[in-house]
Each structure stands twice: as C-alpha cells, then as structure tokens.
C-alpha cells in the first residue's frame, strides 16, 4: 500500500495544509519519500505527547530501534519502508532521525531553555534535522553539500520557531514552555501568563522577539548548485514566514484561537516560493 493511502497522511499533511504545499512542490518521483519523512516526524512528535509517560518512552524507544533498522536496510514501519525503497545513496543519512528523537526526549522531559542559543539548538534537532533529510534525499544519488545542508537546517529552525509562536498556549497547557527563561524573566512573565485566555502586553513583546529570530532563520539563501534540493523547505519556510506576519498583524493574539493562513494565502505564497527555487 502506498504511503499516500495511509491514514497518517490526514494527520501529517492534509489537503490545504502547509506541508501539503511543501509536498506539492516536491519532485513527483520523490514525493512519497518526502511525505514519509513528514509522517515519521509526526509519529515521533506525537509519541512524546502521549498521556502516559511510560507509553511515550516505549514508543520513542521503538523509533530509535526502527531508525537503526532503516539505516541497516530492514525497517518495519510503512513510512520507513517507503524511505528504504527510495534510498539511492548512503543510508547513514537516516541516522539523522536520532536528532529528531533527541528533541522528542526533550519534549517528553518538559525541558526548558535558559536562553535563545539553547532554544535554537533544540529547534535544530526538532525542525532542522527533518529538512536536512529531505534535502539529502532530493540530492541523491549525489551527496548534499555542506552549504545546502546548513541552509536546510536553518530553514527548519525557523519553521519550528514559528510553530512555537503559533502554538504557545496549547504547548503551555501540555506542560511545554519553549520561550527562553531569560526572556521570560526580563518581561517578568510566569507560566500562567502563557496559559491565559488573553495575551499580556509583556508576553506580546516576548513573542515579538521570538518572531524576529524566526524570521531571520527563514530568510531564503541565495540560489546555489543544489537549490532544487531545498524546494520543499523553501515553500514551507515561505508559508511560515507569512504566518508570522499574520500573527504579528493580529497583535500576537495566539490565546483565543490557533491562527492560520487563509485558503488563498497558502497557494499564492507557496507558488512564489517554488518559482524562486
């Protein structure tokens, strides 16, 4: 059964979602592989959010073993089997999934971050590693050059930071505080401020700071020899940059509802970003 028929797709990249447009502008012959990576990312993230800590730990342990099976060419999960079928280069690239798992461990532990540097390191694992893997798959059978790898990771960092801004209140209810502690201290903010139904003006200032950091990460790099490998990341980055602008225009009111881009903004933004790539 194609991964495109799997029910996980409805949670990973449903029609009209930002990941849907990232897939739409992926090379057709490698689209299933890109989707498979998004499915795996979703599975790992959701594992860390399991209501039971023991269940979450068990699921993440299984995914560590599955990552090793994928590297060795004998995976079990439908998504990893798709990756196995599409791999045409060094399978060792799939060990990068251990970075995603390390970020999930941090989520499960409800880890906090002392400063912006620590937050960025987390985002590099949580968001950057998947974009690196996508770029590496699109570059096969050749190897991904260091400039393109770094660009893919940087865009993934910005994407994850944008998600943190958008999902602030829900994350706080789930017990995850991603805003750096030094930033919260400067603004005299407590966890209760993140869960409140109204966004405190001081919290808006903090969110604006994270928004500026995310926007800097989401700046598209100059065209290069392997720019085509970054097309899905270009599209996703452009959509999250537009989302950050939309959130700022709504005065960072991320408490009353989950702010999303409109149905016309997404295809137009994605098309423009894909043309540049």
| C-alpha to C-alpha distance for 162 and 18, rounded to whole angstroms | 12
User: What's the mean pLDDT in 24-35?
Assistant: 93
For residue 69, is it left (φ>0), alpha (ψ between -120 and 50) or beta?
alpha
pLDDT band at 68 (very low <50, low <70, confident <90, very high): very high
| C-alpha to C-alpha distance for 209 and 72, rounded to whole angstroms | 43
* pTM over 0.85, yes/no: yes
pLDDT band at 123 (very low <50, low <70, confident <90, very high): very high
SS3 string, 102-159, reads HHHHHHHCCCCCCCHHHHHHHHHHHHHHHHHHHHHHHHCCCCCCHHHHHHHHHHHHHH
What is the assigned CATH class of domain 3-276?
mainly alpha
With vertex at residue 227, the alpha carbon angle to CA 241 and CA 150, rounded to the nearest 5 degrees, is: 70
Where do the structural domains in the chain lie, given as residue ranges?
3-276
| C-alpha to C-alpha distance for 28 and 26, rounded to whole angstroms | 6
pLDDT at 109 over 90: yes
pLDDT band at 226 (very low <50, low <70, confident <90, very high): confident
Looking at residue 5, its pLDDT comes to 57
């Amino acid at each position: 059964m194609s991964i495109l028929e799997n029910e996980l797709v409805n949670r990973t990249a449903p029609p009209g979602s930002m990941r849907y447009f990232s897939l739409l502008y992926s090379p057709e012959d490698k689209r299933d592989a890109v989707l498979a990576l998004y499915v795996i990312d979703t599975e790992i993230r959701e594992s860390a959010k399991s209501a039971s800590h023991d269940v979450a730990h068990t699921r993440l342990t299984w995914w560590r073993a599955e990552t090793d099976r994928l590297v060795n060419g004998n995976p079990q999960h439908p998504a990893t089997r798709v990756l196995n079928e599409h791999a045409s280069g060094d399978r060792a690239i799939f060990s990068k999934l251990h970075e995603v798992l390390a970020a999930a461990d941090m989520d499960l532990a409800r880890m906090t971050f002392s400063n912006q540097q620590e937050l960025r390191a987390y985002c590099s694992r949580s968001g950057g590693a998947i974009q690196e893997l996508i770029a590496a798959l699109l570059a096969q059978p050749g190897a991904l050059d260091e400039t393109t790898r770094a660009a893919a990771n940087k865009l993934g960092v910005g994407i994850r930071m944008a998600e943190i801004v958008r999902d602030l209140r829900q994350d706080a209810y789930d017990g995850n505080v991603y805003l750096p502690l030094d930033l919260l201290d400067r603004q005299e903010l407590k966890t209760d401020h993140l869960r409140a139904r109204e966004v405190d003006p001081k919290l808006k200032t903090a969110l604006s700071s994270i928004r500026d950091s995310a926007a800097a990460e989401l700046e598209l790099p100059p065209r290069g020899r392997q720019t085509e490998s970054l097309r899905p990341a270009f599209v996703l980055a452009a959509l999250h940059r537009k989302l950050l602008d939309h959130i700022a225009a709504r005065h960072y009111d991320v408490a009353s509802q989950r702010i999303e881009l409109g149905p016309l903004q997404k295809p137009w933004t994605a098309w423009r970003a894909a043309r540049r790539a």
